[in-house]
Amino acid sequence: MFKKRLIGALAYLIALILLLGLFSAGCLTGYVIVTALLSVPAVGTVVKVGITVAVVFMVTALLAGLADRLCSAYRNHKRVQRDVEEETQ
């Protein structure tokens, strides 16, 4: 039992290290590509505008998702509150 758990933990650790390595390699590759593109003036402007648009959309989506969760939680709270009031009467 202990050996199985140890092997499972080691396998998990190795998989995690491999994923971190792949993530690092991907980030480095992306950095090199974006740096190369930004060095060309016309392409650099297009890339900067594209990155700005993508960031604005991501932030907007994040805020819309948070607002939706807040609205759903408020509706759920009001529904539970109404149910409690009906049960106490």
Q: In the prediction, which pLDDT does 41 show?
A: 81
Average pLDDT over residues 17-43: 87
Q: What is the mean pLDDT of the chain?
A: 89
Q: Which amino acid is at 48?
A: K
Q: How confident is the model at residue 65 (pLDDT cuts 50, 70, 90)?
A: very high
Give the position of tokens 């690092």: 24
pLDDT at 1 exceeding the cut of 80 = no
* Domains of the chain by residue range: 1-39, 41-89
Q: In the prediction, which pLDDT does 82 show?
A: 93
15, 25 Cβ separation under 8 angstroms: no
Task: Give the C-alpha separation, 32 to 42, whole Å.
Answer: 18
pLDDT at 77 exceeding the cut of 90 = yes
